[in-house]
Amino acid sequence: MRAPEVILGLPYDEKIDLWSLGCIVAELCSGEVLFPNEAVAMILARIVAVLGPIETEMLKKGQETHKYFTKEYDLYHLNEESNEIEYIITEESSLEEQLQVSDELFLDFVRTLLEINPLRRPTALEALNHPWLSSSSYN
């Protein structure tokens, strides 16, 4: 459940908790781990597959980006058996597919919490004011 900014070695703040909340809410909904895998590069691949690409500006500034992305920002991992670099091709998916729900307000709430760029991710107060939390279907 580590936020992308933590994985990439970027500065972070309390918004990492909003990312974690998004993962937890998604997992409560689906009963499945949203970004399963033990290898960090594969977690990044799942994030990109479900939420879209990580902005180049974030990749440029990340202290750990080189561990998961080439200089051209292609995602890779090191095969431990062969000790060779393997490029990761992400298979596109969507939050709707992963959660198998059609409630647009709920999907928007989770999508907002799982905003890859922390500068656009809501604060806790902003998240509490999301329409899904006050919608009549929720109450």
Quote the CA–CA distance of 123 and 44 in Å, as a whole number.
23
Residue 28 belongs to a domain: yes
Residue 137 belongs to a domain: no
Q: How many domains does the chain have?
A: 1
pLDDT, position 74: 94
Q: pTM for the complete prediction? A: 0.90
CATH number at residue 108: 1.10.510.10
pLDDT, position 22: 98
Residue 138 belongs to a domain: no
- In terms of residue numbers, what domain contains 39? 4-131
Residue-by-residue pLDDT tens, the chain, 139 positions: 899 999 999 999 999 999 999 999 999 999 999 998 788 999 999 999 999 999 999 999 999 999 999 999 999 998 888 988 899 988 889 999 999 999 999 999 999 999 999 999 999 999 999 999 987 554 4
Reading the block at residue 75, the tokens are 């995602």
Quote the CA–CA distance of 8 and 18 in Å, as a whole number.
17
